[in-house]
Amino acid sequence: MVILFDRFNLPEDIYEVIFATKQQIIVAKLLIEMIKGNGGEINKTEMSLFATKLHEGSLITDLIEEEPYKGKKVKVSYNKRQFYDRILTPMKSMGLIDYDLYKKTYKISDHFNKEMIRIGLLWLKEMRKPAKKS
């Protein structure tokens, strides 16, 4: 996944930096809230139930902070395959969520922060390289 941002117009919300659409932002926030609500870790079955509820449009929440939904109970619908392809897989690959193969659980991770620091260090290394002679 490629993150493009304008440092002069950086949004306050990390989800707006990472995801392209409002719907993706809402679903990603709901996922993280659901994981937080379960002690920061959920199993495969719980993830599948979350994705299925989204797919069926039976996920009801009042956690959406954007107008006109703020403070209201809203049914959220999102295709199950797109959830895995556009929300969960990118969150895993960026280090926002970890999957433990042995316990078969998903948990919130700080790897994203560590990788952003590493990327900054890579840029510093590139800046300090001498110019190549042609």
Domain boundaries, the chain: 7-128
Task: Provide the pLDDT for residue 71.
Answer: 85
Which class for 127: exposed (0-12), middle (13-18), buried (19 or more C-beta within 10 A)?
Answer: exposed
Task: Identify the helix (H) or strand (E) that includes residue 1.
Answer: none
Tens digit of pLDDT for each residue in 30-68?
Answer: 999 999 999 999 999 999 999 999 999 999 998 888 888
* Helices and strands (H and E) in the chain: how many: 6, 5
Q: Identify each DSSP E strand in 1-134 by its residue range.
A: 41-43, 59-61, 74-76, 97-100, 105-108
Is the pLDDT confidence value at 87 over 90? yes
| φ, ψ dihedrals at 123, nearest 5° | -65, -45
pTM check: above 0.85: yes
What's the CATH fold of domain 7-128? Answer: Arc Repressor Mutant, subunit A (1.10.10)
